[in-house]
Chains A and B, each alone.
Chain A
Amino acid sequence: MTNALKDYLFFVGRCARETIHGDWRYFLWMTALTAVALLGLNAYAKQFVIGLSVTGMSDQVSWGLYIANFTFLVGMAAAAVMLVVPVYIYKDETLHDVVILGELLAVAVIIMCLLFVTVDLGRPDRFWHMIPGIGKFNWPISMLSWDVIVLNVYLVLNAHICGYLVYMVYLKRKPAPLWYIPFVFTAIVWAFSIHTVTAFLYVGLGGRPYWNSAIIAPRFLASAFTAGPGFLILTLQIIRRVTKYRIDDKALLMLRSIVQVSMIINVFLLFCELFKEFYTDSAHVASAKYLFFGLHGHYGLVPWIWTAMVLDLVALVLLMLPQSKSLKYLNLACGLAIVGIWIEKGMGLIIPAFVPSPLGEMVEYFPTLNEWLICAGIWAFGMLLYTLFLKMTIPVLTGDLTPTSPAPAD
């Protein structure tokens, strides 16, 4: 056992060495990401010292950009499963080669999620209060405690699947089904759970009518399965351009049909929600009114949401047209859909629930520069991690890194 572990660690070490080799583009990219991440770190240092008062949040709008990004990213992480389902359930091999890339993305994104939650905490020094055993974990009552569990388990599941499968490729061994099949299927169910639980976090609050709607969870899933694979379509093209790893157009087009269907469902569910809110026109419509049309002279989110609506609709139309079988249009559609969903499911879902406040106060929320920097920093750090993961695994997948291959020249 210890020997096996030693071998595995040696393998990880060899992969890690790959990350300090690369051409000028690689190092420039890493420098840029590190620089943005450091900007975020500096902004967080300020927030840590002064407090969350450096953000635009208030007692009325007590969650902001951090939780909005967190929500969006949980969706991205869950979307990795959309690559796994065709391969392992329908035995469709089109996506086989990119499954690992999707799961690596999930790992990086979950880490980003955890970072977004951490920067939102008022007392990050007390994180240990959440650790079962030494802390006091309010499970199963608190939905947040469920979220902590499902996110961390999802992280471990994906890390294990990636690590194991890549290691087997490295050793040129056939993976033992016992060591990954149960995990893959668990991960499939789990991906739905991380998103459902995150939705329930909001749905379960009776005091916030904007969230207290059963359709939120399905909406979450639909938008996740749009934005996640959409992001992968873009990423995979970059990967195949800058590495030797071959990714077939067929795989991209398969992802396209996933994005297409999800986007239709996403827009349909959004339409259902809007119908219910605006046709009923009860007192509960206030938040939606604030979001779409402004309320009592406050219009903070109106330009954002209409941008998102336009992006979503253009993306939908593009995806429906056969033109989007050409990558140029597909990329455009995916880009628009990702930005649209980021707005709609981030700011558009979190902020209006607080405006007006439960006491009818109209306090708007505008993120501060410091807040934007922290978010940018976490995004850059996540991209940095994903680049490192790819840098470590792709030489193995292409067969360049094997137990017998020579160490890279210094």
Chain B
Amino acid sequence: MGADPKKLPLWLAGACAGAFLLLAAVFALNVVGDAPPRDEIPKLNPDYADTATARKVRKEMTFDGAPCSSCHEGVDALQGDPKEKGVFHEAIEIKHGRNQHCFNCHNRKQPADFSDFDGSPIKLAKVEMLCAKCHGTHYRDWLSGAHGRRSGHWDAAKGGPKQTVCIACHNPHWPVFKAMTAAPAPHVNPRTRKAAGDGHGGH
């Protein structure tokens, strides 16, 4: 090889050593650059992880904070449509399917209680018995755990589950869930998304 195998052209040494030194400079100056930075992802809103039920359940029947007895006293059964009677209850919007009559649920004689089929009172503490009047299958499912939220312990030995009562989630006057705002959508790898020019996974 070559005229003189002991010798190599000088330019070769320059080229090879120069290439490596140039490369060292490329690395030192990080000419290639780093990967694009991550997206800013806002901090979690603690509400997203809040385990509170959709509604608050009161311990006592009140209206605007006042007990029922402050207006309804005496033993005479209430008559007629309460909405036509005064300035208080008309604000309540009833969208409970075909059940549009107050005294289907509320007790005429004891306004702080609810009413069973025969007019006997159902206490607020046992409100599920009121709903069970019509929603038997849901009551059955609620008892077995297939319907409604449970918290606490799945393990009976550790104390068992805490059931949540119907009205902790459903507004009795408007039981269907109202629309809610979804928590934010997932973020995908920004490198993938930037190149794709597309906002999100999914389509």
A-side residues, CB < 8 A to B, are 21-24, 27-28, 31-32, 34-35, 38-39, 42-43, 46, 50, 53-61, 296-298, 300, 357, 360-366, 368-370, 373, 408-410
Task: Give chain B nearest CB distance to A410 CB in angstroms.
Answer: 6
| A35 and B1 form a contact (CB under 8 A) | no
| B201 and A366 form a contact (CB under 8 A) | no
A34, A58, A363 interface centre (most CB from chain B within 10 Å): A363
Beyond contacts A35-B19, A39-B23, A364-B195: 11 other A-B pairs, Cβ-Cβ < 8 A, are: A21-B1, A28-B12, A35-B20, A35-B23, A53-B191, A57-B192, A297-B203, A360-B202, A363-B196, A364-B196, A410-B6
Q: What's the Cα separation between A357 and B196 when bound, in Å?
A: 16
Name the contact of A368 in the complex, choosing from B23, B188, B191, B202 (C-beta under 8 A): B191
Which of B27-35, B59-67, B126-134 contacts the other chain?
Answer: B27-35
CB nearest neighbor in A for B5: A409
CB nearest neighbor in B for A54: B35
Top-8 shortest CB links A-B: A366-B195, A58-B189, A54-B35, A361-B201, A296-B203, A31-B16, A363-B201, A24-B12
| A408 and B5 form a contact (CB under 8 A) | yes
Q: What's the Cα separation between A39 and B189 when bound, in Å?
A: 24
| B34 and A60 form a contact (CB under 8 A) | no
Task: Give chain B nearest CB distance to A408 CB in angstroms.
Answer: 7
| A50 and B35 form a contact (CB under 8 A) | yes
Given A366-B196, A368-B35, A56 contacting B189 (CB threshold 8 A)? yes
B2 interface residue (CB < 8 Å to A): yes
Q: What's the Cα separation between A410 and B6 when bound, in Å?
A: 6
Q: What's the Cα separation between A160 and B15 when bound, in Å?
A: 37
Task: Give chain A nearest CB distance to B30 CB in angstroms.
Answer: 9
- What 0/1 pattern do residues 103 to 143 of B give for CB contact below 8 A with A? 00000000000000000000000000000000000000000
| B201 and A362 form a contact (CB under 8 A) | yes
Contacts of A21 in B (CB 8 A): 1, 5
B8 interface residue (CB < 8 Å to A): yes
B184 interface residue (CB < 8 Å to A): no
Contacts of B35 in A (CB 8 A): 46, 50, 53-54, 368, 370
Q: What's the Cα separation between A300 and B16 when bound, in Å?
A: 39
Q: What's the Cα separation between A297 and B199 when bound, in Å?
A: 12
B9 interface residue (CB < 8 Å to A): yes
Q: What's the Cα separation between A46 and B128 when bound, in Å?
A: 62
| B23 and A409 form a contact (CB under 8 A) | no
Write 23 A-B pairs (CB below 8 A) sorted by A numbering: A24-B8, A24-B9, A28-B15, A31-B15, A35-B23, A39-B23, A39-B32, A50-B34, A53-B35, A54-B34, A60-B188, A61-B192, A297-B198, A360-B202, A362-B198, A362-B201, A362-B203, A364-B195, A364-B196, A366-B192, A366-B196, A368-B35, A409-B5
Contacts of B9 in A (CB 8 A): 24
- Range, interface on chain B: 20 to 34
Task: Give chain A nearest CB distance to B86 CB in angstroms.
Answer: 55
Q: What's the Cα separation between A50 and B37 when bound, in Å?
A: 11
Q: What's the Cα separation between A27 and B8 when bound, in Å?
A: 10
- What 0/1 pattern do residues 159 to 203 of B give for CB contact below 8 A with A? 000000000000000000000000000001101110110100111
Contacts of A59 in B (CB 8 A): 188-189
CB nearest neighbor in B for A408: B5
- What 0/1 pattern do residues 74 to 117 of B give for CB contact below 8 A with A? 00000000000000000000000000000000000000000000
Task: Give chain B nearest CB distance to A33 CB in angstroms.
Answer: 11
Q: What's the Cα separation between A42 and B198 when bound, in Å?
A: 30
Name the contact of A361 in the complex, choosing from B20, B32, B202 (C-beta under 8 A): B202
Contacts of B1 in A (CB 8 A): 21-23
Q: What's the Cα separation between A46 and B32 when bound, in Å?
A: 11
Q: What's the Cα separation between A282 and B6 when bound, in Å?
A: 69
Q: What's the Cα separation between A27 and B34 when bound, in Å?
A: 31
Task: Give chain B nearest CB distance to A69 CB in angstroms.
Answer: 19
Q: What's the Cα separation between A53 and B190 when bound, in Å?
A: 9
| B201 and A27 form a contact (CB under 8 A) | no
Contacts of B34 in A (CB 8 A): 46, 50, 54
| B5 and A58 form a contact (CB under 8 A) | no
| B12 and A27 form a contact (CB under 8 A) | yes
Given A42-B32, A60-B201, A409 contacting B189 (CB threshold 8 A)? no
CB nearest neighbor in B for A46: B34
CB nearest neighbor in A for B9: A24
Contacts of B33 in A (CB 8 A): 369
CB nearest neighbor in B for A42: B27
| A27 and B16 form a contact (CB under 8 A) | yes
Given A39-B23, A57-B189, A410-B6, A369 contacting B32 (CB threshold 8 A)? yes
**Interface positions of B from 25 to 70, Cβ below 8 Å from A:** 27, 32-35, 38
| B32 and A43 form a contact (CB under 8 A) | yes
Contacts of B20 in A (CB 8 A): 31, 34-35, 38
Given A28-B15, A43-B32, A296-B203, A363 contacting B192 (CB threshold 8 A)? yes
Q: What's the Cα separation between A360 and B23 when bound, in Å?
A: 44
Contacts of B192 in A (CB 8 A): 56-58, 61, 363-366
Q: What's the Cα separation between A297 and B23 when bound, in Å?
A: 41
Q: What's the Cα separation between A57 and B193 when bound, in Å?
A: 11
Contacts of B5 in A (CB 8 A): 21, 408-409
